[in-house]
Structure 1
Amino acid sequence: MIPIKTKEEIKVMKEGVKRLRRILRRVLNKAKPEIRLSQLDRLAESLIEKQKGLPSFKMVPGYKWATCINVNQGVVHGIPDNYRLKENDVISIDMGMKFGGLNVDEAWTVLVNSEQSTVNSQKIKEFLAAGVKALKEAIKVAKAGNRVGHISLAIEKEIKKSGFSPIQALTGHGVGRELHEEPQIPCYLREHLNATPLIKPGMTLAIEVI
């Protein structure tokens, strides 16, 4: 069963997303050479608390961090340990916040560079740009009357057009009263489009390009 949110719940979630996005940007801005992943995690938790939120990820049984941070070949669910970032690392920071009783979820990926960097990172920049374009195309079709498969297909087409491949074992998801809700949102069309869930008004989705 896919939860449908009320207008008031959606209003609360929109405010939560605004706050979490500001937090994520501040943490990403600190992702420079020599900083430890654990320092970024502590910063995220502190900022979430200042925004009158709770770190959603710490509510997952057995998980004690406010973020998931992946570097280079890591995909998702990386633990923010004491690894020190290096020039030309690719870092993904994923965080959730419970605000007003509802969960919101944000993630972004950037290239770690200092102002003095001389490394040629064109291929990495193309990779990151492909992800951004895929997300934009997915958001365009995430509307009532379409199906989850339209989102999956938009991501798959854009990623493959750029010469990359989507991860098949991981998905986006619904979000709201719980951190992870139905429906699952794969990054590729894994079944007939008309067999995928219908998108209805009031659904709140975390679209993840992986």
Structure 2
Amino acid sequence: MIHYKTREQVELIKESAQILGKAHGEVAKHVKPGVKTIELDRIAEEFIRDHGGVPSFKNFNGFPASLCISLNENVVHGFPSDYELKEGDIISVDCGVFFKGFHSDSAYTYPVGKVNDETLKLLKVTKESLYKGIEKAVCGNRIGDIASAIQKHVEPFGYGIVRELVGHGIGEELHESPEVPNYGKPGRGPKLNDGLVIAIEPMINLGSKSVVQEDDGWTIRTADRKPSAHFEHTVAIFKEGTEVLTTHKYIEENFKF
């Protein structure tokens, strides 16, 4: 069942999303060689709690951290650890905030120091595909229009689109209906009606689309161990237009690639 949001509820999600965006900005300042990923998690959790929010991911179905930190060939749901970032890594930082009864969710994949051109292109194209999807997140369209736009943007580069993991509705629950795949046919799937709030999140692999789950029961990585990129925004769809509720502004004030 899809839960449509009122304008007032969307304003609360937007408040949550502002805390989230600023937390991402604090993390971005510390994405550099030599920093332990567990330190990034500490920075994010402290910022979120200091601003009255709760990290959405921590203890969600037993997840142990505030950030999903996925390095290199890891797609999503990786754990923060004592691993020290090194030159040439890429790191996906996925975070959610619960505030005043509502969740927001966004992700960004960073190059650490100088990254090879092939991987940097993957990051750029995946980020572009997020905005291609958002362009189709228009009242009266369908989920397939978003999915198809992402697919059409990335497949000419020979990249693999992860099938097993999708975007989602979001609101009072972190994951709500509908699912938002990153591949599909235009004109298919649930209709995008007034008041729908969804998280759009392309997860794109440099190589094959195939993924496997690690023994920790959470981390998803590419089967061929080639790099994977992940970008995400929470958006609200209204008759009068679509609004991106989350922001990467605070990341990109501190971090450019």
What interval of TM-score do these two structures reach, taking the shorter chain for normalisation?
A: over 0.9
**How far does residue 193 in structure 1 lie from its aligned partner after superposition?**
4.2
Matches within 5 A, 1:31-70: 31-70=31-70
1:105-127 C-alpha deviation (Å, 9 max, x unpaired)? 010001001xxxxx562112111
- Larger fraction in helix: 1
Q: What is the letter of the counterpart of residue 183 of structure 2? A: Y
Amino acid of the structure 1 residue aligned with 2:26:
R
Question: Runs of at least 4 residues of structure 1 off by over 6 A?
Answer: none
Structure with more contact order per residue of length (Cα contacts < 8 Å, sep ≥ 6): 2
Matches within 5 A, 1:29-178: 29-113=29-113, 119=114, 121-178=116-173
Shift of 1:59: 4.0
Question: What secondary structure sits across from 2:91 in the alignment?
Answer: strand
Contact 2:145 2:187 in 1 (8 A): no
Partner of residue 116, structure 1: none
- Letter of the 1:39 partner, please give it: E
Note the residue ranges of structure 1 that are not aligned, 5 or more in a row.
114-118
Q: Is the 8 A contact 1:28 1:93 kept in 2?
A: no
Amino acid in structure 1 at the alignment position of 2:146: I
Percent of counterpart pairs with the same letter?
37
Q: How much has 1:178 moved relative to structure 2?
A: 0.2
Aligned to 2:13: 13
What is the one-letter code of the residue matched to 1:208? E
- Cα offsets for 1:125-162 (capped at 9, x unmatched): 11111011101110000011000000100111111123
Q: Could you state the TM-score of these two structures normalised by the residue count of structure 1?
A: 0.93
Structure having the higher strand fraction is 2
The alpha carbon displacement at 1:12 in A equals 1.0
Cα root mean square deviation, aligned:
1.3
Matched, 1:204 2:160: no
Cα distance in 1 for partners of 2:84, 2:127 equals 26
Contact 1:68 1:94 in 2 (8 A): yes
User: d(CA) in 2 for partners of 1:48 and 1:111?
Assistant: 24
Give secondary structure in 1 for the equivalent of 2:192: coil
Quote the offset at 1:61 in angstroms. Answer: 2.5
Structure 2 runs not aligned, ≥5 long: 204-257
